[in-house]
Amino acid sequence: MNNPHFSVRQVSALVVGTGISGLFTALKLAEAGVETLLITKSALDESNSRYAQGGIAAVLPSNPDDSLDLHLQDTIRAGAGLCNEQSARSILAEGYASIEDLLLYGVPFDRNPDNQLALTREAAHSVQRILHAGGDATGHSVEMALIDKVRKNSLIEVMEYAQVVELLLVDGVCQGCRAVDYHKREEVVVYSPHTVLATGGIGRIYSHTTNPAIATGDGIALAAQAGAAIENMEFIQFHPTAFYADGQLHFLVSEALRGEGGLLRDREGQLFARKYHPDGELAPRDIVTRAIYAEMRAAHLPYVYLDITHLPAETIEKRFPTILSSCLKFGVDIRKDWIPVAPAAHYLMGGITVDVEGKTTVPGLYSVGETAYTGLHGANRLASNSLLECVVLARRVARYIGENPQVLIEQVPTVSSGQYGYESQPAMFEALGKLHDLMWQQVGILRSGKGLELALAELETLETQVMVNHWQQVIPVGFELMSQLKVARLIAQAALARCESRGAHTRLDFPESAPALSTDVFAGASIV
């Protein structure tokens, strides 16, 4: 495993991850005159946000039906008693300013015939307040606009295919990272007084997910290793509708379809959503997910149907071009066929604890986007609040860093660890498969104390297997396997500690919410 190649860099700021949070942070840092190194473990244009379909929620001053108070009320209602109201208010209040920034960066939001920004509705929003782009390709459209600006910005340097393997700590202060460029097979030590983790979500820990292969939770594992506080890891959002075909789930089918009147049907064609909640298809996401799951289990079927055939064909073609063409590849024409759908892991509501400027509990270390926990989402995220949070936190982190330039405390004399290898083995993929099935079955939509204890024991066995074989030093597969195991353990521990059902966390052995565990007295299952 010896690797003789080694280089050392020093930068003013380091951003890890190139989803919307990472790109936006880098652009805003550059606006503040801060030279930034942007590192991604994949290609610049690969990220979780790129697959976001629905949109970005914001209160537009031109919308007479909406207000900050209403957006806050919807967020808190969906969050099932665990939103941090103060953080939520402060983040939502910057919604329109963030949209203005995105427009300036060239994001082509969809518009009505009168050229006003087009708005749609999603579940648990009381009014239309979701902006979208490319119909159902909002994440992709935002990413492409930001990437174009990043590529043209001389203050931003991009390093692709570099896996960050360790955060550098000096006297408890983060001073950069060690990374492995696995295309060049070279170790890089990057010294930076400011390190921003924007590494996205964790969906790949589950066997059924809407997330791409990069969503392995590396940033959270790195931060935990560095001693940063991590919160609310038990709250995983399972999106109600991922497309089902040929025995597996393939891609997200946006909630915006239900926002535009889409109906859920069982195999006989009967509507069922209102049996579970008066808001039916537009009830909070956790409720719709459990409703679909219950119907699937009762019918012994791996899916239910989503029907949007009430919409005119041309509306579907304009509003949902990505979903239409993706489903057609499987022979499902959503203009006339019902869509087979089932729930899949989608979003992590918890993460690395940050304040409203994105500062973690480790000086010099920041986090933005899905990796971070701000308290906005509580126990169940309101649809399309995530892209908003990415942009607001990115603006704030960049502002803070711009106003607080730091010098490095001291450079740690670093030598090549020479310990990384690159050849993955079939046994690593077997271990990944076991982990993903275990998480889906025991730490998934329905949980129990017994199942969670079993999961923790199995996770320990898998971690031992990794350590004994030194797989964590094999980049990227073995390292990502270890990150996933560490994050899986945080999720299972937090889920075991929370002896109640709340939002997206359902315990069969504790089916009720415990009033005493709402946010006023219990800030989540915190693990430091």
Single out the residue of 398, 32, 404 nearest to residue 196, CA to CA.
Answer: 398
Single residue of 12, 25, 175, 384 touching ligand SIN by CB under 6 A: 384
Give the x-and-dash track for 386-405 against ligand SIN (CB under 6 A).
x-------------------
Among 27, 76, 99, 256, binds ligand SIN (CB under 6 A): 256
281 is an interface residue for ligand SIN by CB under 6 A: no
Give me the least distance between CB of 307 and ligand SIN, in Å please. Answer: 16
Q: Toward ligand SIN, which CB reaches closer, 390 or 488?
A: 390
Q: Is 175 in the site for ligand SIN (CB under 6 A)?
A: no
DSSP string, 384-412: THHHHHHHHHHHHHHHHHHHS----S-PP
Footprint of ligand SIN on residues 42-71 (CB under 6 A)? 52-54
Q: Between residues 338 and 366, which has the closer beta carbon with respect to ligand SIN?
A: 338
Q: Which amino acid is at 349?
A: M
- Residue 384 or 506 having the CB closest to ligand SIN: 384
Which window, 189-197, 242-250, 251-259, 316-324, contacts ligand SIN (CB under 6 A)?
251-259
Catalytic residue among 50, 178, 258, 285: 285
- The CB density around residue 478, as the number of other CB atoms within 10 Å, is 24
Is residue 242 near ligand SIN by the rule CB under 6 A? no
Q: Name which of 193 and 203 has its Cβ closer to ligand SIN.
A: 203
Within 226-284, residue ranges assigned H as helices are 256-259
Q: How far is the CB of 242 from ligand SIN (least distance, A)?
A: 10
Helix crossing, 385-403 with 20-31: angle to 10°?
Answer: 30
Cβ(494)–Cβ(232) under 8 Å? yes
CB of 74 to ligand SIN, least distance (A): 13
Based on CB atoms, which residue is closest to ligand SIN, 388 or 475? 388
Q: Is 143 in the site for ligand SIN (CB under 6 A)?
A: no
Is 383 among the residues that bind ligand SIN (CB under 6 A)? Answer: yes
Task: Name the residue among 99, 25, 90 with its Cα closest to residue 55.
Answer: 99
State the nearest-atom distance from the C-beta of 138 to ligand SIN, in Å: 8
Query: Phi/psi at 201 (nearest 5 deg)?
Result: -95, -160
**What gap in Å lies between CA 58 and CA 49, rounded to an integer?**
17
Cβ closer to ligand SIN: 59 or 474? 59
Told to judge if 381 belongs to the known catalytic residues of this protein, a careful annotator would answer no
Helix, strand, coil in percent for the chain, rounding step 5: 35, 20, 40
Q: How far apart are CA 3 and CA 182, in angstroms?
A: 11
**171 contacts: CB under 8 Å, gap ≥ 6:** 409
Q: Which span (149-157, 194-202, 252-260, 325-333) binds ligand SIN, by CB under 6 A?
A: 252-260
Task: Name the nearest CA neighbour of 49 among 142, 161, 158, 134.
Answer: 142
State yes or no: residue 30 binds ligand SIN (CB under 6 A): no
Minimum distance of ligand SIN from residue 375's CB (angstroms): 17
Query: Of the two residues 30 and 288, which places its CB atom closer to ligand SIN in the complex?
Result: 288
Nearest approach, Cβ of 96 to ligand SIN (angstroms)? Answer: 18
The nearest distance, CB 22 to ligand SIN, in angstroms, is 18
Nearest Cα neighbor of 433 from 206, 129, 168, 248 is: 206
**Which tokens in the block code for residue 215?**
């969503």
Residue 412, token pair as written in the block:
């740690």
Write down the residue that tokens 């790109």 correspond to. Answer: 23
Q: Binding string to ligand SIN for residues 337 to 366, with x set by CB under 6 A, is what?
A: ----------x-------------------
For 485, phi and psi rounded to 5 degrees?
-65, -40
CA distance 203 to 490: 14
Smaller CB separation from ligand SIN, 203 or 451: 203
Q: Does 120 bind ligand SIN (CB under 6 A)?
A: no
CB of 193 to ligand SIN, least distance (A): 34
Q: Considering the complex, what minimum distance in angstroms separates the CB of residue 237 from ligand SIN?
A: 8
Q: Total residues at the site for ligand SIN (CB under 6 A)?
A: 11
Closest CA to 186 of 421, 38, 422, 6: 6
Q: Is the CB of residue 264 less than 8 Å from the CB of residue 314?
A: no
What are the strands, taking DSSP E only, across 72-146?
A: 119-120, 130-131
CA angle 308, 349, 460 (to 5 degrees): 115
Q: Taking CB under 6 A as the rule, does residue 36 contact ligand SIN?
A: no
Instruction: Please answer whether residues 67 and 269 qualify as being in contact, where contact means their C-beta atoms are separated by less than 8 angstroms.
Output: no
Of residues 305 and 522, the one with the C-beta less far from ligand SIN: 305
The CA-based angle 356-359-361, given to 5 degrees, is 120
Among 254, 322, 473, 484, binds ligand SIN (CB under 6 A): 254
Residue at shortest CB range from ligand SIN? 54
Query: Element (H or E) spanning 147, and its range?
Result: helix 138-152
Is residue 21 close enough to count as binding ligand SIN by CB under 6 A? no
Give the residue, chosen from 255, 286, 370, 458, that forms a contact with ligand SIN under the rule CB under 6 A: 255
Give the HSE-up count for residue 107: Cα atoms under 13 Å, Cβ half-sphere: 26
Where does this chain bind ligand SIN (CB under 6 A)?
52-54, 252, 254-256, 347, 383-384, 386
* Active site amino acids: 285
